[in-house]
Structure 1
Amino acid sequence: MGGYQILLVEDDLQIGQLLKGILAAKGYNVRWSQDGADISGHVSKVDLVIMDVMLPLEDGYQLSKKIKQVSHQIPIIFLTARSDIESKLKGLEIGEDYLAKPFDPRELLVRMEKLLHHAYGEVLIIQHLKISCDRQQLFNEDGLEIFLTPTERKIFFYLYENRDCILTKEHFFEYIWPLEDRNPSILNVHMKKLRTKIRDENGQIIQTIYGEGYRLNSRIRT
């Protein structure tokens, strides 16, 4: 489940360093804030938030409300020493999950994976690419979206839907340009631009099968 951008808001230095190390080892990209003061600058760049409740400035509940005003999709997991039922109910009302301290990091990882899958659906990792299938989006190794034109998106996800199979030029013409004049070079032009954007100039991910067509390789030997 690596490749996602995680925002960790935790003022305890020891817990923050521990969690950041564990999450990074699992392939997550972690932004760590000790007080949440700069949270507005992170919201558009993260996939999930791990939020302490008791913080030096605003509490985690107030910060989470600000996040939800920007995006309802971003899952929030509260981490807190408060284990009373009222605190849990409040946390679950605002966020998606609530984990009382002390906790086993393995439990946190499982909860994260479930929330990420629920929020973003099936995700495939191919080399440096993270492919969000349900949202039809591509992200690089830093978690930043790779912006595609509508035609490039149709080409890539047509290949993805038929991954590890060869698609001929005729397949692409029928799928993307069925009623238009078919310039023989139009597919080559779009494919070159697409490969440049996904940093696949050598054609390992989208492979040219000479004399036949193209294939998206989901398993690549390095």
Structure 2
Amino acid sequence: MRVLVTEDDGDLRVALDAALRGAGFAVDVAEDLPAADFSIAVNAYDCIVFDRMLPAGDALEYVRARRQTGWPVPVLFLTARDGLDDRLDGLRLGGDYLVKPFAMAELVARVRSLCRRSAGGQATVLRCADVELDVARREVRRAGVLLTLTPKEFLVLERLMTTPGTPVSRKELIRHAWDEMADPGSNVLDVVIAQLRRKLREPQLVRTVRGTGYLING
């Protein structure tokens, strides 16, 4: 799941980035609306976190204008404004509202919930052969045995299990699990796939599709 964080406070931006990465998200950051607008134009996100008041304007008005073009991405607004009208404005725009100060654990939970909404009602628990992936609990089991996966391994497996039996391109797997700084030509994905295969054990379920990417057997 890929998230964009737009926050002009440098310390808070770093803290948000660290908290979301630690929870297994791929994270891009922007310090103002023009930078966020550029990232949104070139990347696909499952959720966007906006500080409500930014140097270049009100993020809520930016999202309102985007919604008029059919833009569907869920958003989480961060703000010191806690009036009922403010909260309702955020909800009307298909987002959520978190009042400062807040606990990072709550922010992570809100972002995860919005990302699931972005997935279009994707099941909370994915199953393929004898592998079970619990999206909410961030747990993976094979034949009932709990596996220990890194955040990147979990995200790659999650994307493969979303469409079992269907090849997923390298570009899509990298988009889902890494941020915009990832080099599509590097071997980071191959390393994660090799680790996944080792941890999933035999019989192997993850197959290489030459010239395309990978798939998991249904």
Is the 1:64–1:95 Cα contact (8 Å) retained in structure 2? no
* Separation in 2, partners of 1:75, 1:127: 19
CA-based RMSD of the aligned residues comes to 3.5
**What's the counterpart of residue 38 of structure 1?**
35
User: Aligned pair in 2 of structure 1 residues 78, 72: CA closer, same or farther (>3 Å)?
Assistant: same
Is the 2:74–2:117 Cα contact (8 Å) retained in structure 1? no
Q: Aligned pair count?
A: 159
Deviation of 1:57 (Å): 0.5
Tell me whether 74-83 or 113-122 shows the greater mean CA deviation.
113-122
- TM-score, with length taken from structure 2: 0.60
* Separation in 1, partners of 2:96, 2:32: 20
- Aligned 1:78-97 pairs, distance under 5 A: 78-97=77-96
User: Aligned pair in 2 of structure 1 residues 75, 132: CA closer, same or farther (>3 Å)?
Assistant: farther
Q: Identical aligned pairs, as a percentage?
A: 26
User: Aligned pair in 2 of structure 1 residues 82, 142: CA closer, same or farther (>3 Å)?
Assistant: same
Q: Which runs of 5+ in 2 are unaligned?
A: 127-132, 134-152, 178-201
Matched, 1:21 2:18: yes
- Aligned 1:1-222 pairs, distance under 5 A: 4-43=1-40, 44-120=43-119, 121-122=122-123, 128-129=156-157, 130-131=159-160, 133=162, 138=168, 139-143=172-176, 194-198=209-213, 200=214, 216=217
Letter in 2 for 1:140: L
* Separation in 1, partners of 2:90, 2:58: 12
User: Aligned pair in 2 of structure 1 residues 131, 166: CA closer, same or farther (>3 Å)?
Assistant: closer
Deviation of 1:116 (Å): 1.6
User: C-alpha deviations, 1:75-99, integer Å up to 9, x for none?
Assistant: 1011101011121111221232111
Deviation of 1:127 (Å): 7.3
Task: From the two aligned structures, give the one with the greater strand fraction.
Answer: 2
Is the 1:78–1:95 Cα contact (8 Å) retained in structure 2? no
Letter in 1 for 2:74: P
Q: Which runs of 5+ in 1 are unaligned?
A: 145-163, 168-190, 207-215, 218-222
* Separation in 2, partners of 1:95, 1:119: 10
* Separation in 1, partners of 2:71, 2:30: 21
Letter in 2 for 1:49: I
- TM-score, with length taken from structure 1: 0.59
* Separation in 1, partners of 2:113, 2:18: 20
Structure number with greater CO (CA < 8 Å, separation at least 6) is 2
Deviation of 1:12 (Å): 1.1
Counterpart secondary structure, 1:142 = helix
* Separation in 2, partners of 1:137, 1:10: 36
User: Aligned pair in 2 of structure 1 residues 95, 118: CA closer, same or farther (>3 Å)?
Assistant: closer
User: C-alpha deviations, 1:91-132, integer Å up to 9, x for none?
Assistant: 221232111000011111111222222221136666735237
User: C-alpha deviations, 1:148-192, integer Å up to 9, x for none?
Assistant: xxxxxxxxxxxxxxxx9999xxxxxxxxxxxxxxxxxxxxxxx87
Counterpart secondary structure, 2:78 = strand
Counterpart secondary structure, 2:27 = strand
